[in-house]
Amino acid sequence: MNLSKEEALSQLNKWKTASTRLFFHSSSMHGLTTRCVGTLQHVSSSEVSFGMDEIDGRDLLFTVNLHEANFKWVDNRDDWQFFAPGRKKTAFGLVLEVDLKPGGRILFAELFSSAVEM
């Protein structure tokens, strides 16, 4: 389901305020894929920053430019396999996909402390 930028920013701000543990997946058209767990450090209309709590933001911080980005909710039962090896898809809650221009994709997925049995 597609979201407006305002709706996406509202959810990102909720996650930031609550220090929600998120799974971050980034893939680019250049073949670089990044996966890690952490929290949102900064949210604005132009960018979001994601970091790992165990690592100082001066040492590792992922910043995503949101200009011309498109947003949608992903049903993780149907989407392509982005989950880290060893994790069940039921370990994830809401999944927000950010399509970047000229070609890249970011996923922010709520990460539960243990998989939810269905």
pTM listed for this prediction: 0.86
pLDDT in tens, 29-85: 788 888 899 999 999 999 999 999 888 888 999 999 999 999 999 876 665 555 566
pLDDT in tens, 82-104: 556 677 777 788 999 999 987 89
Q: What is the pLDDT of residue 103?
A: 83
Strands across the sheet containing 104-111: 2-3, 70-73, 92-100, 104-111, 22-28, 33-43, 47-51, 62-65
Domain boundary assignment for the chain: 2-111
CATH of domain 2-111: 2.30.29
